[in-house]
Structures are given as C-alpha cells and as structure tokens.
C-alpha cells in the first residue's frame, strides 16, 4: 500500500515545483496572473515577494522528494513533517489569501498524510 501514498506525495511535490516556477519565474505572465488573481500592476509590484514565496514552495517540494528517496524510518517521518507543513501552509493561505488554496494544497496534503499513515 506504500506505492499509492508515494504517488500522491510525488504529485504534491510536483505541484509545489509548478508553484515555484509560477511564483519565481512567471509571476508577471498572463498564466501566473490568472492563477493568482493579480493584474499587471500588482504583479510588477509584488514580483520580489512572489519569488520569495516560490522559494519556500521549492523547499517543500525538495523535502517531499527527499522523503521519497530516504530510507525508512527517515522517509516516513520526513513525509509526515513535510506534508504537515504543506497542509498548515494551505490552511493559512486559505484563511488569508484565497479559499481555493484549501482545496489545491491542504486537502491533497491531508489525503497523502492518511495514505502514508495507512501504509506504515
């Protein structure tokens, strides 16, 4: 049962790599502005802030990838830690920025946490 959990963890890592790219490199493009609900002026003014956020999303992705490559018990604990970080970040983002973040970030992280716990 570990394989389905790892597939979901990998998908969440890829999602955070995508968010990193949007925030760090594509912030002022139509694609990122649509994804984050910004306009050209706001995107230009917040480009540095978004890049900083992107870097943090990259750290989450890196931790999740590490958790897939590390041997147990490190892998199990790393998955729990980084998935919990993703879920908490999603809760905060949903409460302060956009409620959609709850469904894009928190719900998948909680599903992955359950799968990881069931597989352990």
Question: What digits encode the pLDDT tens for the residues 40-95?
Answer: 999 999 999 999 999 999 999 999 999 999 999 999 999 999 999 999 999 999 99
Peptide bond before residue 73 is cis, with ω within 30 degrees of 0: yes
The residue range of the domain holding 100 is: 2-119
pTM of structure? 0.91
For the chain, how many structural domains are there in total?
1
> Quick check: 27 and 46 in contact, CB under 8 A?
yes
Pick the range with the lowest mean pLDDT from 1-5, 49-53, 114-118: 1-5
């Amino acid at each position: 049962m570990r394989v389905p959990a790892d597939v979901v963890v990998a998908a969440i890592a890829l999602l955070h790599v995508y968010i990193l790219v949007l925030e760090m490199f594509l912030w002022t493009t139509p694609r990122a502005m649509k994804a984050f609900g910004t306009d050209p002026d706001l995107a230009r003014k917040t480009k540095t802030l978004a890049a900083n956020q992107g870097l943090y999303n990259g750290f989450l992705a890196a931790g999740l990838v590490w958790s897939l490559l590390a041997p147990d018990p490190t892998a199990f604990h790393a998955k729990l830690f980084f998935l919990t970080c993703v879920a908490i970040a999603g809760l905060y983002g949903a409460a302060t920025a956009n409620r959609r973040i709850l469904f894009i970030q928190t719900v998948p992280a909680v599903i992955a946490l359950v799968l990881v716990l069931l597989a352990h």
